[in-house]
Amino acid sequence: MRASIRKSGIRPLAVALVLTILPAQLRGQGLPPDHQLARDLLAELIAINTTHEYGNTTPAAEAMARRLLAAGFPAGDVLVVGPATANRNLVARLRGTGTRRPILLLAHLDVVDARREDWSLDPFTLTEQDGYFYGRGTSDIKDMAALFVATLIRFKREGFVPDRDIIVALTAGEETGADYNGVQWLLANRRDLIDAAYCINGDSGDPLARAGQRFARNVQASEKVYMSLRLEARNPGGHSSLPTPDNAIYHLAAALTRLASHQFPVRLNDITSAYFERAAATMQPALATDVRGVLRTPPDAAAAARLSGQSPFFNAQLRTTCVATRVEAGHADNALPQTARALVNCRLLPDDRPADVVATIRQLVGAAPVVVTVTDSAVPSPPSPLDPEVMGVLQRVTTDLWPSVPVIPNMETGATDGLYLRNAGMPVYGVSGVFLDADDIRAHGRDERIAVRAFYEGAEFTYRFVKALAQPRR
């Protein structure tokens, strides 16, 4: 729109007045048709409350299904499925020649809660303001759900016939993890709908920029393993006027203090080694020197300590982490505590043995009368091999669009639904199309947003990337 305004001869003040009058929903008018489609899909998805607490993914899945059917997809290739009527999933398929096995494009429709009183604008209305799209799910990850659907529709309009089926799955239950739905349900009940050579997961592998400069085209090929433990101290209690050293809160606090001072050993794997090797070229000299230090055998301990102290992200890439996230104790203001418990959340390196991590925690607790119990068992998540086809196409498309931006494999420090696919034998590559500001990540937070320009560039990237993965070979 800015380019057309400059050519029109309209004075800037007049333009500003028009933009303040126009509703935010209408400011996308005048866009190229493919960008307009992507914007319309994003606006439609943002407007549907898909939170676990108050929303429902079924209307969003049905809305995207209607879009695909209107574009000419057969009803048998556009399915809204799930274990119940609420929080269903969309699975759509663009048929190819079948020369190669299908590819799966994955994004989730559910989002975390957003209260209107916490936001400066309506979280369930797509608002374009100051060069950003605001709304719950703009970055996590209704942007990629919209772009995957827009890409399929664009292929259909062009008459593109891939040499493999392209499957889009927009799922429920990713943000809660507790509901047996989404990818887990599809694998158990309708694997035929999503079975593929590999998955491109839009929920990870965010490309990153800083101060407007793009510096990393990440691809997530691994993720850490989630495990939670409960630390609990029990005591007969008594009257607070007769205190004794045998206090459940003190025992728990001492155990947590020992945990806080512990660092698991530095250990790199194929993915984190590749990440540090490629990322070093994008860093300031002193930081790059430390990064190359941890790549040595054995890793430079001083360099690892500096990296860990400087950045929680680097620390999480280098080692398994365990941290206290919740504490609960006592039952009355005037009584000695009978129980004190804490929740400790661990994110394990993919090749760490959960039993070894639990043993380390129990050793740290030591002689204190604190019992350690596993509350969320670790589900292994083996790394995906860096497939030459995926990496080659990703490098080529990235170079075409952003010549100076390196492609960097990375390990997700959180968790995604790619976990379940990897454990089912399907390689997963996290590739989001939308650049995020590394210093302004607002997923799950107040006034979540993405840059408008980054979204439209992401539409073009996603189209080119997926088309190249499914282009008939000559």
Taking only the tens place, the pLDDT of each residue in 298-354 is 999 999 999 999 999 999 999 999 999 999 999 999 999 999 999 999 999 999 999
Q: Tokens 């891939």 belong to which residue?
A: 162
More confident position, 53 or 77: 77
pLDDT for residue 20 is more than 50 = no
In terms of DSSP bridges, do strands 103-108 and 166-171 run parallel, antiparallel, or are they unpaired?
A: parallel
Range of lowest pLDDT (4-18, 234-248, 337-351): 4-18
- What mean pLDDT comes out for the span 161-190? 92
pLDDT tens profile 381-417: 889 999 999 999 999 999 999 999 999 999 999 889 9
Give which of 11, 109, 19 is closest to 62, Cα–Cα. Answer: 109
- Residues in contact with 206: Cβ distance below 8 Å, sequence separation at least 6, in sequence order: 218, 432, 434, 435, 436
| Token pair belonging to 295 | 């790549």
Residue pair 143/132 in contact by the 8 Å Cβ criterion: no
Category of 402 on φ-ψ map: left (φ > 0), alpha (ψ -120 to 50) or beta: beta
Residue pair 207/437 in contact by the 8 Å Cβ criterion: no
Residue pair 207/432 in contact by the 8 Å Cβ criterion: yes
- Residues in contact with 438: Cβ distance below 8 Å, sequence separation at least 6, in sequence order: 208, 209, 210, 215
Mean pLDDT of the chain, nearest integer: 91
Distance from the Cα of residue 277 to its chain's centroid: 23
pLDDT for residue 25 is more than 70 = no
Residue pair 350/273 in contact by the 8 Å Cβ criterion: no
Q: What is the pLDDT of residue 11?
A: 31
Q: Tokens 């996603």 belong to which residue?
A: 462
Residue pair 200/102 in contact by the 8 Å Cβ criterion: no
- What mean pLDDT comes out for the span 7-20? 31
Q: Which CATH class is domain 31-222+382-470?
A: alpha beta
Q: What is the pLDDT of residue 23?
A: 42
Q: What is the pLDDT of residue 454?
A: 97
Q: Tokens 């800015």 belong to which residue?
A: 2
| Token pair belonging to 400 | 């075409």
SS3 229: strand
Domain boundaries, the chain: 31-222+382-470, 224-376
- Would you say domain 224-376 falls under CATH 3.60.150.10? no
- Of the pLDDT bands very low, low, confident and very high (cuts 50, 70, 90), residue 58 is very high
Give the whole-angstrom CA distance, residue 220 versus residue 428: 8
Segments in 231-269 forming alpha helices (H): 248-260
Give the whole-angstrom CA distance, residue 352 versus residue 26: 51
- Which amino acid type is present at position 347? R
- Prediction pTM value: 0.87
Segments in 71-204 forming alpha helices (H): 142-158, 182-189, 191-194
Number of CB atoms found within 10 A of residue 269's CB: 16
SS3 303: helix
Q: What's the helix, strand, coil split of the chain in %, to 5?
A: 40, 20, 40
- Residues in contact with 197: Cβ distance below 8 Å, sequence separation at least 6, in sequence order: 100, 101, 102, 103, 164, 426, 427
